[in-house]
Structure 1
Amino acid sequence: MSARESDDEGPSTPKKKRSYKQKFRNEWLHHENFKKWLRRDMKDPYRAYCIFCDTSMIADMGALKRHSEGNKHVLKAKPSSSLTSIATAFKKPSPSLDDKRKIAEIKLAAFMTEHKISHRVMDHLVELLPKAFPDSEIAQKIKMKRTKLRAVINNVLGTTEQQDLCTDLKRQKFSVMIDESTDIAAIKTMCVVVRYFCPAKGRIVSRFWDLIQIYGNDNTDHSSSAERLFDAVLKSFQDHSISLENIIGFGSDGWMLPKFTSANTLFQSESPMITKIHVKMNDLYRELLTTHVKPEHITSNLDEIDPTNEKHFKNLEDAYFGLGVQRQISSSDMLPELVIDLKERCRKFIIKACVGIRKRYSLNDPVMAAVSLLDPDNCVDTSKRPESLQRIFELLPRLVPKCLNEQQQIDDQWRKLPSLINKVDSSQAPDVFWNQILLKEDFSKLANFMLEILSLPNSNAECERKFSEINDIKTRKRNRLITNTIKGNILARQSILRNSANCIDYNPNEKMMKTFTDKIYKNEPLSDSDTDID
C-alpha cells in the first residue's frame, strides 16, 4: 500500500466554519426597544450607532440587546424617557368613535347645505349609509334625519359662524348694510350684512350677519318705518354684546331709509370702491350731459347743472346718442318724423338717467370727494395727495381717535408716507395696499385708519346677492322653511366657503365639536312646518 493510499484512508480533518459579517438592517430602526436610540453608522455599513451614548457597535442583534441593557446606556436613556413622556402628554389624542361620528354628521350637514339639498333626503340617506358601507363603524353610528340635520345646520354650523363673526366685530370697526325683500311665501325679511377689515384675510370683507323677519307671527304692528327697522338692526348687535360704538357706517336702499343713499349698480363690486366712486360718478354724469347739453353749460360744478333745462339743450340734430343709433338712422329709409321721434326718445332716456344719478348720489358730497384722494396711487404721489388729513378728520369724526395726540400720530405717519414709494406697490387694490402698510410698525395707526375708511359702505349689492341665495334656498317646493332655518343655512354656507374651498375640504373645528351636544335641539320646531315638500 502506498503512502498516498494510506493518507486517503485515514481520518479526515474537519472543515473550518466560514463566518459572515452582518450588515445593518433597516427594520431594527422600528424595533420597540431600539427605535428611540438606534441609528445606522454612516461610516461603516456593518456597524450601528447609539445616539444616547455616542457609541458605535457591530450590527448584530445580540450586540444591540447587550448594549441596551448596559449600565451606561440605561443611565443615558433616563432623561430621554422623561422628555418623551412630556411630549406624549401634549400629543393630541386620536378622536373617539363618537367624535368621528360627529365629524361625519357635520360634514354631511355641510354637504346638504352647500348644495341646497332638501332636508327630507336625509331620512333615506341615513338608512342607506350603513347598508352601503357595512364594514364601517362610523356609518353604522350615524343617526341623523331631517330634524337633527336642521339642528346641526342652525345650531352647530350657523351658531359657530356667528360666534366667530362676533369675535371679529368686537375687535374691528365695521359698517352695516341692509335691504329688505319679500320671499315666495309672502314673508317680508330684512337682510343685514357687515363690512370690515379681516386681519386673517388681510382684506376688506362683507359677511352675512342676520336675517330679520319684519312682521312676526305674533306681531300685530305691520308698520315698517325707518326707525323701527333701524332699531331692529341695532338690537341684533346688542343681543350679542357688540358695542354700537364699533359701527362706523350704515347703508341701505334710498326707498327704505331716505336719509341714506346707495351707489349705482355700476359699482356693485365686492372689492372696496369707495375711493373711486366719486370720480366715476362725476365722469359718468358729465358723459351723459355731453350727449344733449351744450358744452358751454357744462361747468366744473356738475351738481348745479339741471339736465332737464331745455334752454341748455343742443339742437336735436346735433345730439349724440352713440354709433348704434347713428348707423340705424343712416342705413335705413326712416321717415324724417320717425328719426326725430327716435332721437327724442333717446334724449328722454338719458335725461331720466341723469335725474336718477342726481337723486341717488350727491355729486358734490365732500366726504366722497375727500376720500377719492386716498386712492393708493394718489397717496404716494406728492402732487396729488393732501399735505394733511385734517380735512378728512373733520368729515369723518366717528372714525377719528378722540385723543389729539393719536390724531397727530396718524397725521405724522401720513406726511411720511411718500418715503415708502419704492417699497410698496400702489397698483394693488386699496385694502391690499393698506394691509402692506399695516405690517410696517411706523405706519400702523395710519393704515388702521385708512382700512376703517375703506370699510364704509359703497353699495348694498352684497345684500342683494344674499336675497338671491335665499331665493335658491326657499323655493316653491321648500316654501315652508322658516326665517331662522334660512338664516342658519346662509351662515352655514358662509362658514364652509370662508374656511375651505367646498364641503369636501371642510373640517369641523374644536368649537363645533363642543357645541354638538343634545342642546342643539333647543328652540328647534318639533313639527314638519319647517321643512320642504320633496
Structure 2
Amino acid sequence: MQAEKPKLYLLYDQICTAYVTILECFIQPVYLELTKEDINKAKDILNAKEQKILSVDVNDVGIHLPLLETNVGGMVPNLIRLKRDTQELDNEKLSNFYTKCKEFYIEAAAQIKQRFPFDDKERQALKCLQMLNPQVILSHEFNKKHITSISELLYHIPGICPENITELDREWRTLRKTNFEFNETETPSVEEFWWHVSKLKKGDGSVMFPLLSTLTRKLLCLPHSTAMVERLFSSINLMKTKLRNKLSTTTIKGTLHTKSEIKNCFEFNATNDH
C-alpha cells in the first residue's frame, strides 16, 4: 500500500490473488477450479470459486502436483536441464530442491491465511469495498453480477451506512445500469469516477445518487496505514518540536495544507482568493 491515493478497496482482491497464485504453484488445478456440477449448483459463481479455493488444505499431499511438476519459475527449469546435462545435479539433490520449494509455498500460503483470515468479519468488510472499484462497475454485465446489492455493507460497516438502506440499494442498482461516457482504453481513478457520479442529475435537476455519493466519500476516507500516512506523521514531527510544542492543531493543519498545495513557491501564482 505504498500509494498516496485510496487503495483500501483493492486490498482483499490483491491478497486473494496472491494466495491463489501461490496455490497454483503446487496444487492440482482440479482442486482450484469449479466442476460443471459446482457451477450448476452455485448461485454466485465467483463466490463459489473463492470458497472452494479457501477450503483447500495446503498440507494435504494427495492434492499436490507431482513433486517435479512444482512451479519453480521460468529460468530454473532451464538451469536444471543444463546441470543435468553436465551431470552436476543428481536425483537426490533435485528432489531435495523441489521439496524445499514446495515447503516454502505451503508455509507462505499458511502465513497469508493466518495474517489475513479471509472469512472473518473485518476481512469481509474489505471485500464489500470492491463496490468502489471503477473497473468492477464499468466492466460488462457479467462481471457486475457478483455485486448485485450492497446491503451487505449494513452488516459489515453499520456505522457508515445511512439509515435508509433500501434507498441506498436502489441507487446502487440504478448505478449498475447507468452508461458512463468514459474512455474505454483508460479507466478513471476511483476519486474521478465517484466525483463524476456525485455530479449526475435527474431530469428535475436533483442529485441522482445522493446517498451513494455520501457513502463512497466516507468509505474512501477510512483510515489505513500507507507510506503517505507515515510521511504525514514525519512532517508533523518536523513542525512540532521541543521548541515549538505549543502549536495548535489549526496551525499544523494550515501548514500541512500549505505544504501540500504549494509545492514550488518560486513558480506559485497568487490570486485574489489567496
TM range (shorter): 0.5 to 0.7
Q: Is structure 2 residue 103 aligned with structure 1 residue 345?
A: no
Alignment of 1:347-362 (within 5 A): 347-362=102-117
Give the SS at the match of 1:323: coil
Distance 1:434 1:282 in 2: 25
RMSD: 3.8
Letter in 2 for 1:449: L
CA offset at residue 507 of structure 1? 8.9
Which of residues 257, 263, 271 is equivalent to 1:501?
A: 263
Range with bigger deviation, 321-330 or 408-417:
408-417
SS in 1 for 2:75: helix
Question: Which residue of 335, 357, 367 maps to 2:89?
Answer: 335
Specify whether residues 308 and 506 from structure 1 end up closer, same or farther in structure 2 by C-alpha distance, changes over 3 A only.
farther
Structure 1 residues 468 and 501: alpha-carbon distance in aligned structure 2, compared to 1, 3 A threshold: closer
The structure richer in helix per residue is 2
Q: What is the aligned-residue identity percentage?
A: 21
- The 8 Å contact of residues 274 and 372 in structure 1, kept in 2 or not, is answered as no
State whether residues 275 and 372 of structure 1, in contact with CA within 8 Å, keep that contact through their aligned partners in structure 2: yes
CA apart distance, 1:442: 1.9
Greater mean deviation of Cα atoms: 445-454 or 301-310: 301-310
Alignment of 1:115-514 (within 5 A): 267-298=1-32, 300=49, 301=51, 302-332=53-83, 333=86, 334-336=88-90, 337-364=92-119, 365-380=123-138, 381-383=140-142, 384-385=144-145, 386-402=147-163, 404=164, 407-418=165-176, 420-423=178-181, 427-440=187-200, 441-457=207-223, 459-466=225-232, 482=242, 494-505=256-267
SS state of the match for residue 79, structure 2? helix
What is the distance in 2 between the residues matched to 1:399 and 1:462?
24
Return closer, same or farther for 1:306/1:422 CA change in 2, 3 Å cut-off.
Answer: same
Give the TM-score, by structure 1 length.
Answer: 0.38
Residue identity matched to 1:322: G
Counterparts of 1:503 and 1:291 in 2: how far apart (Å)?
A: 53
Distance 1:313 1:273 in 2: 34
Query: Can you list the C-alpha shifts for 1:152-189, whole angstroms capped at 9, x where unaligned?
Result: xxxxxxxxxxxxxxxxxxxxxxxxxxxxxxxxxxxxxx
Give TM-score scaled by structure 2 length: 0.68
Distance (whole Å) between structure 1 residues aligned to residue 126 and residue 262 of structure 2: 36
Which structure has the larger Rg over C-alpha atoms? 1
Q: Using a 3 Å threshold, how does the CA distance of structure 1 residues 314 and 412 change in structure 2: closer, same or farther?
A: closer
Q: Which runs of 5+ in 2 are unaligned?
A: 34-48, 201-206
Contact (CA 8 Å) 1:425, 1:433: kept in 2 or not?
A: no
Q: In the alignment, what sits opposite 1:183?
A: none
How many residues in Structure 1 have an aligned counterpart in Structure 2? 234
Cα distance per residue 1:331-361 (max 9 Å; x no partner): 3343223333333332233233222211222
Structure 2 distance, partners of 1:461, 1:507, is 30
CA distance in 1, matches of 2:228, 2:264: 20
Q: What SS does structure 1 have at the residue aligned with 2:222?
A: coil
- 2:216 alignment partner AA: M
Q: Is the 8 A contact 2:9 2:132 kept in 1?
A: yes
Asked whether the 8 Å contact 2:125–2:153 carries over to 1, the reply is yes
Task: Give the match for residue 173 of structure 1.
Answer: none
Report the CA distance between 1:289 and its aligned residue.
0.7
Q: Residues 100-125 of structure 1, C-alpha deviation per residue, up to 9 Å, x if partnerless?
A: xxxxxxxxxxxxxxxxxxxxxxxxxx
CA distance 1:505–1:325, shift in 2 (3 Å): same
CA contact (8 A) 1:316 1:343 kept: yes
Whether the aligned pair in 2 keeps the contact of 1:496 and 1:503 (CA below 8 Å) is no
CA distance in 2, matches of 1:377, 1:358: 26
CA contact (8 A) 1:438 1:447 kept: yes
Counterparts in 2 of 1:495 and 1:377: CA distance versus 1, 3 Å: closer
CA contact (8 A) 1:434 1:450 kept: yes
| TM-superposed deviation, 1:283 | 1.8
